[in-house]
């Protein structure tokens, strides 16, 4: 956890290029329908560029990130947050499994894309599963949808 209370969900960096997703906290704590949504920021660095996007992660986004990690660890391409609500992040692993190219596209606002590659550190997949566990521990799901559009607090 960072000193400011943020928790890194993603940190793929090799000293030159990087992708970081930091979860900052709940979007609207105490508001039943939005309590489990999380404010986050995406930071992309690459050569001469640095980009920053604010996003709101839904509980489903964390579930899908877990699945994306499995795809990436198996060496398959994957796309995270491809719902038009947030920036889309496409991952393209190299055939040797030592690097990944990622493309962050701000589909919801500017349409801008940034594409760069990072060399993957040994054990990156396990490290990212641990990062996901820390995010879920810091902000557990406390609301359940009992039927479409009907919510209640978990007990």
Write out pLDDT tens, residues 11-30: 999 988 999 999 999 999 99
Mean pLDDT, rounded, of the chain: 92
Backbone angles phi, psi at 4, to 5 degrees: -80, 5
Task: Tell me which residue of 35, 3, 2, 34 sits closest to 21, measured CA to CA.
Answer: 2
Within a domain: residue 127? yes
Within a domain: residue 34? yes
Within a domain: residue 84? yes
Q: Which two tokens stand for residue 12?
A: 């793929």
Residue range of the domain that includes 60: 7-138
As a whole number of angstroms, the distance between CA 76 and CA 6 comes to 29
pTM greater than 0.85 (yes/no): yes
Within a domain: residue 38? yes
The DSSP 8-state label assigned to residue 5 in this structure reads S
Residues 55-83 have pLDDT tens digits of: 999 999 999 999 999 999 999 999 999 98
Within a domain: residue 16? yes
Within a domain: residue 155? no
- DSSP reduced 3-state for 69: helix
Within a domain: residue 152? no
Q: Specify burial of residue 133 (Cβ count, 10 A radius: 0-12, 13-18, 19+).
A: exposed
Residues 103-151 have pLDDT tens digits of: 999 988 888 899 999 999 999 999 999 999 999 999 999 999 999 989 9
Q: How confident is the model at residue 3 (pLDDT cuts 50, 70, 90)?
A: low
The total number of structural domains in the chain stands at 1
pLDDT of residue 15: 87
Which residues pair with residue 117 across a beta bridge? 101
Within a domain: residue 115? yes
**Where residue 128 sits, what CATH number does that domain have?**
2.30.31
């Amino acid at each position: 956890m960072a000193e400011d209370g943020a928790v890194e969900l993603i940190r793929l960096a090799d000293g030159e290029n990087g992708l970081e997703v930091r979860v900052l906290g709940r979007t609207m704590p105490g508001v039943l329908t939005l309590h489990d949504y999380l404010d986050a920021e995406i930071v992309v660095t690459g050569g001469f560029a640095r980009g920053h996007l604010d996003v709101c992660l839904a509980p489903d986004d964390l579930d899908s990130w877990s699945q994306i990690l499995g795809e990436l660890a198996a060496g398959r391409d994957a796309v995270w947050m491809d719902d038009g609500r947030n920036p889309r992040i496409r991952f393209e692993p190299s055939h040797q499994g030592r690097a990944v190219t990622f493309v962050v596209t701000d589909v919801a606002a500017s349409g801008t894309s940034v594409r760069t590659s990072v060399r993957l550190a040994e054990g990156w997949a396990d490290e990212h599963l641990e990062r996901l566990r820390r995010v879920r521990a810091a902000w557990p799901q406390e609301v359940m949808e009992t039927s479409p559009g009907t919510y209640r607090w978990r007990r």
